[in-house]
Structure 1
Amino acid sequence: MVPLSKNEIEILMSTLNKEQIYFLQHRTKQKKKSRWLQTLANDKGIDLNEKMSDQEMEEKLDDWILVEIKDGGYQKRPHKCDCGQALRFQYIIRNKAQGAVRYLGENCFENYLSLPASVIKDVKKGLYSIDLERDEILMKYKKNLFYPLDKYMHLPLPQDLLDQYERGLPLSDNQINLVERIHTRYEEERKLASLFQRLTIEQQQFVSKQNQEDRRELLLSIEEGHAESFLDIEDLSEFNETLLKQLHLNLPLLERQKQMIEEWQRTKKREKALYALTLEQQQFILTLSKEKQAALLDQIHKPLYFIYEEIKNLPLDDQIKKQVDLKLPLLKEQIYQIHLAQNKGECVTKRNAETKIAID
C-alpha cells in the first residue's frame, strides 16, 4: 500500500467522529511508543513481556523514551530540530531519568542516541508500518470495508481490537489475520478437549503429564487413528518407561519417538548384518567411519557388481579393491569411480592400438 499524504489523511480523518479520531490518533501514538520500547529493549538484551503496559516497559529501561514523531507533510518542513535545521519529520524524545526533552531530526536522532544503524533502521521500519496500518484503516473506512467481527466475539480477542470495532472503525489486514489465528487456535483447543474426553482415565492421566506441544501432537494423532499397537513392546525393552507406558496404553507415538525407534531398529539390523559376516569382513568394515559403516551394512544384501579379477589392474583406491576382494557391496560413489577407471582404461587401450597401427 502507498502511504497517504498528510492532506489525504486530514480529509479522511474529517469523515470520522471525535471519538474515532481520538482513538485512531492515540492508538497510532501508543503503538509507535511500544515499538520504540521493544526495539530499545531488544538492543539492550532486556526481556519484555508482551502483556506489559508501556509504563511497565519504561520502568525496565533507564533511557530516552520516544514521545512522538511529527510529520510535516510531503515537501514541507514546518518543524525544527534542536540544531536549528528545518524538518519534515521531528522526533520528540524524553530522558526518563533527567526529564529532559529533545526535538530532533533524523540525523541528530541517530547521533544523539548513539544506537547502532541496524536498530535505527528497525525503529524507522516499525514506525513506518504503523503509519501504513493507520492509512489502511482510513481507506477501508472510506470504502466501507468492515470485517464481520461480531461472529468472533466469543474469542479471547485483544481489548484494543474490540475497542476499535466498537467505535465503528474497520480492522486492518494484520488485525484480521490475528483474529483468524485466534479463531483457529480456539477451534483446535475445542477439538483437543473433545479428543481428551474420549480417552480412558489412565490415558488421560498419562497425556496430562506431557508438555503442551507433545500433548497436542499426541491427541491429533489419536484423531487420525495412528495407534502403534502393531509394535512388539518386548522388542522395545531398551527404551524408557514413558515410551513403554505410552505403547501399553495404545497411545500413538510422537514423530521424534518414531524416528528414534526407526534409527534403533536400523542400528540393530546393521549389528545383525555385521555379525553374520566373516571375521575378515567385520575387521575391514570396522576400520571405516561410522557413516560409511552404516551405508555399507545397509547395502549388505545387494548384488555384487564386480569381481576382483576385473578391477585389480585398474587405477583405484586400495580400499575399493579390498572391498571387492572381500565380496562386500560397494557404495554408489565407489561404483562410479570403477566405471570412470574402466572408461579411462578403454581409452588408453584404444589409443595404444591406434598408435601401433600407425607405426606398422
Structure 2
Amino acid sequence: MQIELSSKQKEFIDKYIKKSAKDIWEEKLINLKGIVLNGEEDNQQIEDKINEWILVDIKVAEENTRPYKCVCGRSLRYQYVIKHRILDITYNLGCECVKKYTGIDSKLVNRVLLKKEELNSMVDEIIRKLNESEIDRQLYLLDYDEIPNMIRQQLLIGLPLTDKQLEKVFKVIGKDNNKKNYHKKVHNVMQELTKEQLEFLNKLNYEDKQPLIISLMDGKKIYNMDELKGVELSNIALRKVELNLPFTDKEIRDIKKGKKTEDIKYIEIASKKLNKSQYEFWCSRMSLNQRKETAKYIVEGTNICDKRLVRGKSLDKNIRKQIQLGIPLTEKQKKSLDI
C-alpha cells in the first residue's frame, strides 16, 4: 500500500527538491550570464534581468514515443514550452528550435532537462524509500549535530534521504575516510534490522542508542532467556532479549556480575547440603568452574550418577570417587562417560 504524503512533506518536496523547469532555467541563465541577485527581487525583476524568453515547462513523453509537436512540424519526445515575455506569445519547441527562436544555446536547454530529470528522480527515490520504511533506518542520523539543516528538516518530517544525500551526510559527519566508512557500515547494519528492532532503537536516547549500534556492528552475543535465568535485567535489556538484539559491553559486564552472584548463592547453599567427605572432595579435587556448575545440581538433587551404570567401566579415579560419594557430575563428565 502506497503511503500518502502529508501536507508538510509535499510542501518540503515542492520547495527544496522538486523545482519547476522555469526555476532551473532561471538558475542556469543566471549562472551563464554572471547575473548577481541580491535576494530581494520579485519574479518580474528576475525575468527582466535574465532574458525576454521564459521557459514555462518541459513536457517529457514515455521512452520510444514522440507525441508532441514542434512549431516546425517535427514530432518530439521532449517539448519545451517557451514564452516571449514582451510579446506575450508562447511557443512549443524542440531542442534545436529553442536555439533558433531564442538564440540560447541548446546545451543550456539540455542541462535544464537533465537537472529536471535528476530532481524528479530524487522525488521518486524518496517516495519509494518512504514506502519501504527506509526512514526508520535513517533516523539515527539526527543524533549528529553536523548534518545540514535542510537534511535534518527532511528527516524530522519523516522523509528518507536519497543515496546521493546519504553520501553527502557521510562526508559531513565523517571527515576522514575511516569515519566515513564507519558510518557506511552503520547504514548497512540498519538495513538488516526488522521494523520492530528499528522502532525500539529509534526510541532510545543517544547514550543507549550508540552503544547498541556499536554492539550490532561488532556482532556481540545475543542472549536468550534460559541463559539469563536468575539475573535481574533492566527493561531495556529485557526488550533486547525479546527482539534478539545484542547487549552492550556494560550490560554484558552487569550480566556476568549477576551470574557470579547467582553462582555464589548456589555454592553457599550446596556447601551446607554436603557431608564432610563430600565437601572435602568437592573443594579440593574439583575446579571452581566444576563447583559452580555442580552447586546448582547439588541444590536440585540432579545429575547424580547411579553407581551401577559405571560398574566394570575403566574410570578416572577422581570421577570414580565423585560417583562413589554421590556428588553430581558436570555435563562434560556425563558426556565423557556416555551415560
TM-score normalized by the length of structure 1: 0.38
